Chains A and B, each alone.
Chain A
Amino acid sequence: MKKLLKVISAVAALAIIASAFVGCGQSAQKRRDYDGTLTYWVHMNGNTQNAGLEDNSEMMLYKEMEKRTGVKINFIHPAGGSTGNEAATTMFLDEELPDIIEYGWESYPGGPEQAIEDGVIIALDDHIDLKTVCPGYWQYVGDDNPENEARKKAVTTNDGKFYGFNILNIGSTKGFAGIFTRKDKLDEWGMKVPETIEDYEALFAKAKAEGFTKPLTSLIGYLSLIKGSSTVGFSTAFDVGSNFYVDDINGKPEVVFTANQPGHVEYVTLLKDWYKKGYIDPDFATVASDQINSNMVNDVSIVSIGYIGSSMGKILPAAKARNANYELVACPFPKNVNTGADSEFQVCYNAATSTANAITYQCGDYEAAAKWCDYVYTEEGMILQLFGIEGEHHTVQEYDFDGDGTPEKHYVYTDLIAKPETSDCNTVAEAMYKYMLPCNFPGYNQHIDYLMGYYQEDCQKDAIKIWNVPASKDGTDADTDKIDTPQEHQLPTLNYTKDESAELNELKTVCESPLEATFVDVVMGKKSIEDYKAAIKTANDNGYAKMLEIYNAAYQRYLAK
């Protein structure tokens, strides 16, 4: 008995010591004093690292910004680069947070609202007058300009509050991926760039006869043609978008699920047929991007689906080293099989993303932090972040790009970027990110002059135009009520409640993979289309129906903003 008491008291003593260590965390969070220095938690771009920078403070952009704004920034870079979601998730548990956090707030459990509620970040409207303090940001998201509506909805919480300074895709370019093929082979075989499903079938048949063993190579899933992204490809011919997207249901916009759409089964039937004929890479379910690229380079495949930069931009230099005649061309999204109309779908950027520089509650001076965040949205700051300093990193030239006959002002990168070896870099991207952050960081994104500088090859520059279906056929969207343009079909950035995001996550785990597995078996001919229809029904019962409900609830809140 005595022994037991001793043990108990020893354990109790340990517990008291332990609680002394953690008890100090119980006091309310305090705001720091501001002394002209801000800490900024931001991922480090891979290109910046490859260019040999240790830390963003060594970057020209931030040295210059410090001179111009007078604010000194201490950078905190999470391990794991842009995929630093794990680092961020654990950072939020810390009692001491940095002043400014760059993060995709959609991924915060419960979204930006919950982050505000949890006391991680502040609602900007509650503390500062954005219109006067942040005129740069306001010009793109303020409600005094009706053109800002889509952007404003994308960057505010459900109750209409601004939570940070987001990535704004202001540039006119919205497309970045699609189907592409070999221009040199098309010319050799006397074929035109494919526009319809028949055109593709003719091309695949010809390629197969010419020794291309896997005419179509891509990572294909039932949700989309590039798994894990909302990429559409051949499904557009059946009037079906990818994953969850917006469509007219009884004249009202609603979120729909690709597999429940009428054309989806037809589309899968087509893939099944193509697989049977040997047109599709037999490894389509697991093939890695470097294998896809090598299939394209080595004359194994003729058609693939991918990105302007990371697919076309990687295939071309490698292929040209082997075969100087090698050329790629972007194909327009396939025309509707029934009506012959142009595709209503394409791969699209949203008006803005949830990745934003948000100010934490603990920051000592909200206004100073907001002013600093706002700088890159002002004209001066935008030029600095995207194009650097005039005369050094870019020159201003006047020429006619949009084809209206009158020249406009354009920013053209100097040799320091265009010839990366002058900056001791291997690629143009490395040279860009050595000095500035032209894309994927909060600020003005998708600037056409940046894209023209980034894409080296003519076929890439053409792809921007081909994969950029205009807002409507004549360039203006007359019937604004109807959902019939790629931008309107795109699911906007939605805010979910904490319970909703937990449920979405769990349901997705339960119902996604069985349907995907059936899809693969059906395309490969191991199962029938009837099996697939049954699998869609089961997936709906197991979770997709519920997920659709959650998406629609979030979408209705978005519309009501």
Chain B
Amino acid sequence: MNEQSITLKKKPNLGRRIGDELKHNFVLYLMAIPVIVYFVLFVYLPMYGLIIAFKDYKPFNRMGQGGIWGSPWADMYGFANFIRFFKSPLFWPVLKNTLYISFLTLIFSFPAPIIFALMLNEIKNLKYKKVIQTITYLPHFISMVVICSMVIRFFQTDGIMTALVDVLGGSKQNYMINADAYRPIYIGSGIWQGIGWSSIIYISALSSIDQELYEAAVIDGAGKWKQVVHITIPGILSTIVILLIMNVGQMLSVGYEKTILLQNSNTAEVARVISSYTYDLTFGTEGGGGEFAYSSAIGIFQSVVNIIFLTIANTISKKITNSGLF
């Protein structure tokens, strides 16, 4: 009793605190209203649709049965759609492929723009730097469909990249039907398309590093390499960590567009990922498709695993670098 009255004294009650807060920052909250409305209407409310994953979904019919609410719950306490996915012969292959592509992306595609930004940072000729930056941005603005059809042409028997591989000691063949070449092409073309754009955030982080630190380091006799290791990288470390955590949180979300556009029968075994499989199930054209409940179940599975990865990465990061997303 005594203790409680002390805490009450220290902290006014919740309603009072909210009232004070509102009064103080009224304009700020006013400005936040559209964003809050947006999130409630377009992000939180549609979430009720997730229950479709636990239902034996049927579209509305004229008796008013079916629909998201009206459909009966799925078998096995509502988990029939999940069980079906776990039992599918494609479950392990698509999960493995998705994780494989994600790990390769983390290992190769994630550091690429950082290294690129560090290299750009060392260029002293401003004009040259600007030209390089602009050229590397360009592929980002090309549609994925165009990028993929370019990539396919580059790696066919007479393609320009095949010629390059040939010169470098490879063989002249259609690399698009070579399952071993699929992942390198997927990751490589991703780096080519994204390196310039993704480096922007690091370049801006780099520009905020205090130049006096470098001057002091030079006086202390530090070479270029030491400057990079002890000043530049620590200066952008928090940016790197945040982006890394966000990337880890997307581990199971390899996009379907690029996979569908690049794959063919010979590479399907290594190319097929969770999202492209879901796409085929929902919008498959030949005598199938429309598996909304099943696809939603797969989507939920994907999100749950993503959240787990995100939390783990965040915890580790907090332990090691003392910074994290939340």
Interface hits, B223-280 → A, CB 8 Å: 264-266, 268-269, 277, 280
User: Is A321 close to B, CB under 8 A?
Assistant: no
User: Is B315 close to A, CB under 8 A?
Assistant: no
Q: How far is the CA of A151 from the CA of B288 in the complex (A)?
A: 24
Given contacts A22-B48, A109-B289, contact A516 B70 (CB under 8 A): no
Partner of B67, one of A95, A117, A508: A95
User: Is B2 close to A, CB under 8 A?
Assistant: no
Residues of B participating in the A interface, judged by any CB pair closer than 8 Å: 44-45, 48, 58-64, 66-70, 88-90, 149, 152-153, 156-158, 173-174, 176-177, 179, 264-266, 268-269, 277, 280-292
Given contacts A513-B268, A514-B269, contact A93 B59 (CB under 8 A): yes
Q: Which residues of A contact B58 (CB under 8 A)?
A: 118
The answer to whether A285 and B266 have CB atoms under 8 Å apart is yes
User: Is A510 close to B, CB under 8 A?
Assistant: yes
Partner of B174, one of A106, A109, A283: A283
The answer to whether B60 and A108 have CB atoms under 8 Å apart is no
The answer to whether A520 and B290 have CB atoms under 8 Å apart is no
* 20 A-B pairs in the complex with CB atoms less than 8 angstroms apart: A19-B48, A28-B64, A89-B283, A89-B289, A95-B60, A118-B58, A119-B63, A285-B177, A285-B266, A286-B177, A361-B62, A501-B287, A501-B288, A502-B291, A504-B287, A505-B281, A510-B90, A513-B265, A520-B266, A521-B266
The answer to whether B266 and A85 have CB atoms under 8 Å apart is no
Partner of B265, one of A120, A500, A506, A512: A512
The answer to whether A108 and B290 have CB atoms under 8 Å apart is yes
Q: Which residues of B contact A19 (CB under 8 A)?
A: 48
Within the complex, the shortest CB–CB distance from B326 to chain A, in Å, comes to 18
The answer to whether A517 and B156 have CB atoms under 8 Å apart is no
Q: How far is the CA of A515 from the CA of B289 in the complex (A)?
A: 22
Q: Which residues of B contact A189 (CB under 8 A)?
A: none
Q: How far is the CA of A92 from the CA of B67 in the complex (A)?
A: 11
Q: Which residues of A contact B281 (CB under 8 A)?
A: 505-506
| Besides the known contacts A93-B59, A505-B287, 12 further A-B residue pairs in the complex with CB atoms under 8 A apart | A18-B45, A109-B290, A282-B157, A285-B264, A286-B264, A288-B152, A288-B153, A502-B288, A505-B288, A510-B90, A516-B266, A520-B265
The answer to whether B156 and A286 have CB atoms under 8 Å apart is yes
The answer to whether B269 and A21 have CB atoms under 8 Å apart is no
- State the 5 A-B residue pairs at the shortest beta-carbon distance, nearest first: A505-B288, A516-B265, A28-B64, A119-B61, A119-B62
Q: Which residues of A contact B69 (CB under 8 A)?
A: 22-23, 25-26
The answer to whether B287 and A496 have CB atoms under 8 Å apart is yes
Q: Which residues of A contact B265 (CB under 8 A)?
A: 221, 285, 512-517, 520
Q: How far is the CA of A19 from the CA of B174 in the complex (A)?
A: 55
Q: How far is the CA of A117 from the CA of B149 in the complex (A)?
A: 42
Q: Which residues of A contact B64 (CB under 8 A)?
A: 26-29
User: Is A414 close to B, CB under 8 A?
Assistant: no
Number of interface residues of A (CB under 8 A): 53
Given contacts A85-B283, A109-B288, A510-B89, contact A118 B61 (CB under 8 A): yes
Given contacts A22-B48, A85-B285, contact A119 B152 (CB under 8 A): no
Closest to A515 in B: B265
The answer to whether B287 and A286 have CB atoms under 8 Å apart is no
User: Is A509 close to B, CB under 8 A?
Assistant: yes
Within the complex, the shortest CB–CB distance from A96 to chain B, in Å, comes to 10
Closest to B64 in A: A28
Q: How far is the CA of A516 from the CA of B266 in the complex (A)?
A: 7
Within the complex, the shortest CB–CB distance from A163 to chain B, in Å, comes to 15
Given contacts A108-B290, A505-B284, contact A285 B174 (CB under 8 A): yes
Closest to A300 in B: B158
The answer to whether B289 and A505 have CB atoms under 8 Å apart is yes
Closest to B172 in A: A282
Q: Which residues of A contact B282 (CB under 8 A)?
A: 89
Partner of B177, one of A107, A515, A520: A520
The answer to whether A107 and B285 have CB atoms under 8 Å apart is yes
Q: How far is the CA of A515 from the CA of B283 in the complex (A)?
A: 23
Q: How far is the CA of A285 from the CA of B292 in the complex (A)?
A: 32
Given contacts A18-B45, A26-B64, contact A286 B176 (CB under 8 A): yes
Closest to A503 in B: B288
User: Is A202 close to B, CB under 8 A?
Assistant: no
Q: Which residues of B contact A285 (CB under 8 A)?
A: 174, 176-177, 264-266
Q: How far is the CA of A513 from the CA of B88 in the complex (A)?
A: 16
Q: How far is the CA of A92 from the CA of B291 in the complex (A)?
A: 13
Q: Which residues of A contact B45 (CB under 8 A)?
A: 18, 21
Within the complex, the shortest CB–CB distance from B280 to chain A, in Å, comes to 6
Q: How far is the CA of A346 from the CA of B174 in the complex (A)?
A: 31
Q: Which residues of A contact B90 (CB under 8 A)?
A: 509-510
